[in-house]
Chains A and B, each alone.
Chain A
Amino acid sequence: MLNKTKNFALLLLAAAMLAACGGGAAAPNTQLVVLEWSGYEEPSYWEPFALQHPEIEPEYSFFGEDAEAFSKAQSGFAFDVVHPCGSWWGLYVEAGLVMPLDTSRLSNFDELFPELTQHGVFNGQQYFIPWDWAYESITVRTDLVDEVPDSWADLWDPQYAGKVAIFDSGESTFLTAAYALGYDPYNTTPEQQEEIKQHLIALKPNLLTYWVDYTEINQLLASGDVAVGANTWNDAWATLNDEGYEVEYVNPIEGRISYACGFGISANSTNVDLAYDYINALIDAQSNANMANDFYYGAANMNSVPLLDPNLVEVFEYDDPAVLAQSNFQHPLTQEQREMMTTIWNEVKAQQ
């Protein structure tokens, strides 16, 4: 009897805690909780879902960077769909946060570039569905430099002293230094890692600052404080070009870095059917193109390409799948690799 009361009390407590957490996933198939970058909640990116389920209003929880989303998911936040970028996908799978997907439930899946979908496969199963992809390269204000850099290694050229800003990210800076030195960033020896660290320290005289978000680097380039924006995304070039600045988006001889972001379904989701429908709506050719045009990104759906701004397609070669195969596509990182890269970057930043 006492035991029963105790159990009942525990049940009540659990119910109260669930209610307090506000986890939308508690009630099945009535709500959809999306862990999403801010700015992607735009209804035109998932219109087919709204037509299919007019009664459902997706509930968004926003994040500003991948680390934030991952720690939120790891800390037990109840979500149905999450939108991390490719280099984080492996960690979600490793931590058991997402479920293997049945691609036959996504009618638009076959329209996606196979070069992109392959990155979402882990242990032979599809865990993530790519949606948006972009580059990391060098945006240059051609009017402020004598010579436009044509390689990642050129970032170290003393002629750019104090004119460079680099993305404040352990992963991106590690890749940049590794390509500049001619190493495979995903297969480095401890000696090479030390060399990469020293090389990044040697970059400091050329750096004015580290940039953290795209609005910051776009402003720095527009004001002319920074002439060489390293590891900038497509939007930096596109935004400045639209505003009439003389800019070039470099195609470094070592290759641009590229990455894709995409959607996974929480392993604890109780709204799996809705989650599939939502993802399928996102990867619809028109929805995918709407997003890509707004952010100047590439679309994972091949049929979106004719719907993209032709000027951007030309500049960024969005119609050429060979680009996806050739550019340095960001691999999913293991926990160890991510820690190694961020530790090196910490030590570089701490170095006075």
Chain B
Amino acid sequence: MENKRRLFTLITPPSVFLLFFFLIPLVIMALYTMKSSSFGPLFPLSFEAFTSFFSNPAYFVLLLSSSQLALLTAILSILLAYPVSYYLVFYTGSRRVILLTLLILPAWISYLLRVLAWKVILGSEGLLNQLLISAGLIENGAPILLFSQAAVLITLVYVWIPFAALPIFAAMERIDPRLHEAAADLGAPPSVTFWRVTFPLTMPGVASAFFFVFIPTLGEWVTPNLVGGVSGIMYGNLIQDQFGRALNWPLGALMSMVLLVLVGVFSYVFNRFIPITEVPVSS
């Protein structure tokens, strides 16, 4: 009884906060999808936003390409973060905390500044182009990477690597070194030990890293806005447009809801196929 009361006291403030600043706004947003205009009354309900959204395949194509981009960003971030974490945990000994801090250090700088830095690197008078020109690989200063989907991908992967590395690092750190010793004792070569022992044990970290990167990237709009140009546009840019210049809040609300549902579906699917909870964790 005492425990229950304590739990209740602890859980009430965050619940109230979430209720007022998350759940209720979310419901309001959901109701906006059925409004006939951004400012008018809710009733009579209108399904105009639904008709214009679902009758237009371009929105789905963009949602699909944005999902692909987010998926690719998540996979590349993990592929790059994994060896780094592996090295930090198993080969750097006591220096690993310092090295991990160094890895995360760029994330302390404003997100916007880091994205703009890539604009400087990828632009026609940017570092990359200057390098290619001085190496005689390209002739003039045409920006070959800026304003493309590739620019968005490069920037996003760069931004997300530290966030992918953290959960993988944590998962690796939890591995009991005796498991490696046992594997060696039983005659397993290092590669077998990695694939049969280390890798499965780091899967929960990999899965969290995946969600850390995939979900925010799917709704991303700042990065494509700055470096994406015409071809690098993402679904999030169109949502932002609806609430800004286009002044079509019902459609913007509907597009956000569709994204929310999609993230829910993705999470469910991934949870099913990456059985995070079933992976044995060392005691």
Contact = CB atoms under 8 A, between A and B. Distances in A.
Contacts of B124: 223-225
Contacts of A74: 38-39
B56 interface: yes
B29 to A, nearest CB: 15
B147 A350 contact: no
Interface string B164-200: 0000000000000000000000000000000000000
Interface string B125-140: 1000000000000000
B244 interface: yes
A29 interface: no
B238 A349 contact: yes
Nearest to B233: A349
A85 to B, nearest CB: 13
A332 B244 CA distance: 19
Interface in A50-89: 65, 67-68, 70-71, 74-75
B59 interface: yes
Interface string A224-235: 110000000000
A350 B37 contact: no
Nearest to A76: B39
Nearest to A170: B246
Contacts of A349: 233, 237-238, 241
Interface string A330-352: 00000100110011011101111
Nearest to B62: A350
A350 B59 contact: yes
B246 A67 contact: yes
Given A65-B244, A209-B229, A223 B123 contact: yes
A346 B247 CA distance: 12
A208 B59 contact: no
A308 B38 CA distance: 41
A210 interface: yes
A168 interface: yes
Q: Is the interface of B mostly helix, strand, loop or mixed?
A: loop
Contacts of A350: 56, 58-59, 61-62, 233, 238
B143 interface: yes
Contacts of A168: 245
Interface string B226-267: 001111010001100110111110000000000000000000
Contacts of A95: 39
Interface residues of A, number: 33
A208 B229 contact: yes
A141 interface: no
A223 B38 CA distance: 39
A210 to B, nearest CB: 7
B65 A352 contact: yes
Contact of B245 (A170, A204, A223, A335): A170
A223 B146 CA distance: 13
Given A209-B147, A223-B124, A225-B146, A347 B247 contact: no
A71 B243 CA distance: 9
A224 B247 CA distance: 33
Interface residues of B, number: 33
Contact of A208 (B56, B62, B147): B147
Contacts of B245: 65, 67, 168-170, 342
B230 A346 contact: no
B39 A207 contact: no
A225 B37 CA distance: 39
B52 interface: yes
Contacts of A342: 241, 245-248
Interface in B43-67: 52, 56, 58-59, 61-62, 65
B38 A71 contact: yes
Contacts of B59: 350
Contact of A223 (B37, B125, B231): B125
Nearest to A201: B58
B216 interface: no
Nearest to A347: B58
B106 interface: no
B56 A347 contact: yes
A12 to B, nearest CB: 23
B65 to A, nearest CB: 6
B141 interface: yes
A101 to B, nearest CB: 24
Contacts of A338: 247
A343 B52 contact: yes
A225 B145 CA distance: 12
B91 to A, nearest CB: 43
Q: What are the 10 closest A-B residue pairs judged by CB atoms, nearest first? A: A209-B229, A342-B246, A350-B58, A350-B62, A74-B39, A207-B230, A67-B247, A209-B147, A351-B58, A67-B245
13 contacts: A67-B245, A67-B247, A95-B39, A170-B245, A204-B230, A223-B123, A223-B125, A224-B125, A225-B147, A343-B52, A350-B62, A351-B58, A352-B65
Interface of A: 65, 67-68, 70-71, 74-75, 95, 162, 168-170, 204, 207-210, 212, 223-225, 335, 338-339, 342-343, 345-347, 349-352
Given A225-B123, A342-B241, 17 more contacts: A65-B244, A67-B246, A71-B247, A208-B230, A209-B229, A224-B124, A225-B143, A342-B247, A342-B248, A343-B248, A346-B238, A346-B242, A347-B56, A350-B56, A350-B59, A350-B61, A352-B65
